[in-house]
Structure 1
Amino acid sequence: MQSPTVGRQRPKDRKDRIAQVAAELFCEQGYHGVSLEEIAGVVGISAPAVYRHFDSKYAILVAAGRGLIDATLTATDLSSSEDAWLDLEALLAALARLAVTHRRTAGLYQWQWRYLTDKHDAEFRADLEVLFRRIALPLLNERPELGVADAEAITRATLSVFGSLATHRAVIAKGKAEQLLHRAGRAVMQASPPTPISGLELGVLPVSVPIGARREIILAESVRLFRLYGYHEVNVELIGHASGINASSVYRYFPGKADILAAAFYRASERVTEATAAALSGARDDADALRRMIESYVELTFERSDLVTVYLAENNNLPEGDRHELRKVQRLHVEEWVRLLVAVRPELTASEARVLTHAALNVVTDLSRWVYFDRRTGMNRHLVRLMGVVLNA
């Protein structure tokens, strides 16, 4: 009896389909949490069939990242239109459509750099420079008072607004999401630039050894390493070395690496809860409470930038029970922002307020990966204003 697959042609777009499915799974579960078998199962093929198109999971990651970047460059290529390079509105509209269309895969931009080889990292960065120029040039034309560094800072913040839609699952109509993101992106482009002082980029400043109990040192060093390299690229030996002890000594304080990550998440959750309670307790009214929430979030990010970044980036690597519990806490925290924003801006629906809240929070998170959060940069004051700009868009 002839196999039903004999004589059947493979779809011409199967390679693209594999990359698309993989991108969605990587964003949902993390790169290391996805197997080739799982990718193949969703596509509807066998795992060996994947190897007809890609020689490894890493090759699929590169293809998925390339697909996202190519789609972005295609969407923002307005060269066929006369004076299109001057048209910021057309670019904002294109970015808003792109954010909505690629919502399930755009999260690759936030963490894929950790896993890329130097070669692919350089290639992707070169393409991102093209995107930056496409936005910065018309911005400089519209606002000639800005310097190049100012335009770059505003461009980064603007892209963070659009990228924020991929960081959450809040339900909102596609058309409304595009309108909100377009409006928020435009507001950021008209805002004061969050420009850091030269020489204070992340990785330039020396890393100091934290002082405190041994368990706290291990936790602090683990969080720093998780942020720099990603959870799966850090082992207990590296944590022990950074903490000034042998790897075996780490186990006196934590049963395993997953327990260190969970402890970091619970610590971050406690800090967020404490900061929220402090902001709300002395507020005169909802508008004052929202202002205090903005200030407390930026302050927390400055004081605990490694912790906040890991808290937002490493959910998928938590033990399942901890993951569900902490995501519940995260949702409750966001809902407090939504409640206040709707109270201050009653013309917004809860879903609209939720999208703006995530956009404002994402701007701070994204920029924290770009520049070391040192008060000498004035970034804390800039980001307080910028969060207000996004929430009021």
Structure 2
Amino acid sequence: MATPITARDRAKAERSDALLTAAATLFAERGFSGVSLEDIGAAVGVSGPAVYRHFAGKQALLGALLVGVSRDLVAGGTAVFEASSDDEDRIRCLIRFHVDFALGHADVIRVQDRDLAHLSDADRADVRRLQRAYIDLWMTALAALRSVPSDELRLRVQAGFGLINSTPHSTRSAARAQAATAAVLTDMAYAALTA
């Protein structure tokens, strides 16, 4: 029998989520080295030392952020993959899933691009393993539409990610909230993947 979730458990989870969100924003703005635990705690209304109730330190917080997002991408991508019975629909749904992620998590993409080197070895290995699983999922979906060598499938998938993940660097936050931006990115990514 599962232990019931208490109000205290919910509050702790909400505070951890708030700390991760604040860390993503601050790391994206200033870089990992330019942010202290005190800055992150202050952003959610707690002291720096209170952050230690949730994370072992700043590096652990970065690890939780990037490993967590990588797990979410694999889980979400797998759900999209399995929900689609048509090959064409599957790749289009995966593209929409990733576009929605990129537009909604621009700070995390900036942090991943710049601060991956600050992860612990174990967290970096986890992120890389999860990234490979996510790429493999896309390669499997694309292979059903394009009969090309696996090296080319990988190139197409990674180029598609590059196009989609460039949005934090090439658009303003107001543009990322517009449906037209998502539509353009979706069409461009589909064209690039299937060209």
Q: TM-score range by the shorter chain?
A: 0.7 to 0.9
- Tell me the matched-pair count: 181
Partner amino acid, structure 1, of 2:162 = N
Secondary structure of 2:53 counterpart = coil
Q: Distance in 1 between matches of 2:165 and 2:92?
A: 18
| Residue 350 of structure 1, CA deviation | 1.0
Please say if residues 77 and 97 of structure 2, whose CA atoms lie closer than 8 Å, have aligned partners that are also in contact.
Answer: yes
Given the alignment of the two structures, is residue 366 of structure 1 paired with residue 152 of structure 2, yes or no? no
Q: Return the letter of the residue paired with 2:20.
A: L
| Equivalent of 1:350 in 126, 131, 150 | 150
Q: Which residue of 2 aligns with 1:3?
A: none
Instruction: Show the counterpart of 2:141.
Output: 340
- Tell me, yes or no, if structure 1 residue 233 matches structure 2 residue 23: no
**Residues 99-178 of structure 1: pairs in structure 2 closer than 5 A:** none
Residue 243 (str. 1) matches residue 44 (str. 2): yes
Deviation at 1:375, TM superposition (A): 2.8
Tell me what 1:99 maps to: none
Give the AA of the match of 2:86: D
* Counterpart among 49, 69, 78 of residue 268 in structure 1: 69
Secondary structure in structure 2 of the residue aligned to 1:380: helix
CA shift at 1:274, angstroms?
2.4
Please give the alpha-carbon distance, in whole angstroms, between the structure 1 residues aligned to 2:71 and 2:178: 27
Q: TM-score, normalised by structure 2?
A: 0.85
C-alpha RMSD of matched pairs (Å)? 1.8
Aligned partner letter, 1:355: L
CA distance in 2, matches of 1:312, 1:329: 16
Decide which of 25, 30, 34 is 1:224's aligned counterpart: 25
One-letter amino acid of the structure 1 residue matched with residue 157 of structure 2? T
- Secondary structure of the residue aligned to 2:178 is helix
1:298–1:380 CA contact under 8 A, matched in 2: yes
Moved more, 243-252 or 378-387: 243-252
- Which residue identity does 1:323 align to in structure 2? R
* Residue in structure 2 matched with residue 125 of structure 1 by the alignment: none
Q: 2:184 aligns with which of 358, 361, 382?
A: 382
In structure 1, C-alpha distance between the alignment counterparts of 2:123 and 2:176, rounded to whole Å: 32
Structure 2 Cα separation of the partners of residues 269 and 278 of structure 1: 14
C-alpha contact 1:299 1:380 (8 A) present in aligned 2 = yes
1:164-218 per-position Cα deviation (integer Å, ceiling 9, x unaligned): xxxxxxxxxxxxxxxxxxxxxxxxxxxxxxxxxxxxxxxxxxxxxxxx8222111
Q: Which runs of 5+ in 2 are unaligned?
A: 1-12
Q: Distance in 2 between matches of 1:312 and 1:338?
A: 22
Give the aligned residue type for 2:149.
Answer: T
Q: Map residues 245-324 of structure 1 onto 2, 5 A cutoff.
A: 245-324=46-125
Please tell me the residue identity of whatever aligns with 1:383: L
Q: Which amino acid aligns with 2:185?
A: L
Shift of the alpha carbon at 1:312?
A: 4.3
Per-residue CA deviation, residues 92-119 of structure 1 (Å, 9 max, x unaligned), is: xxxxxxxxxxxxxxxxxxxxxxxxxxxx
Select the structure that is richer in helix. 2
Matched-pair contact (CA < 8 Å) for 1:225–1:239 = yes
- Separation (CA, whole Å) in 1 of partners of 2:113 and 2:139: 18
Once the 2 structures are TM-superposed, how far is the Cα of residue 319 of structure 1 from its aligned partner?
0.4
Could you tell me whether the CA contact under 8 Å between 1:268 and 1:311 is conserved in 2? no
Instruction: Write the deviation string for residues 343-368 of structure 1: whole angstroms up to 9, x where unpaired.
Output: 2111x211112112111111111122
1:121 maps to: none
**Structure 1 segments of 4+ aligned residues over 3 angstroms from their partners:** none
Find the aligned partners of 2:119 and 2:131 in 1 and give their Cα distance. 14
Distance 1:242 1:329, change over 3 A: same
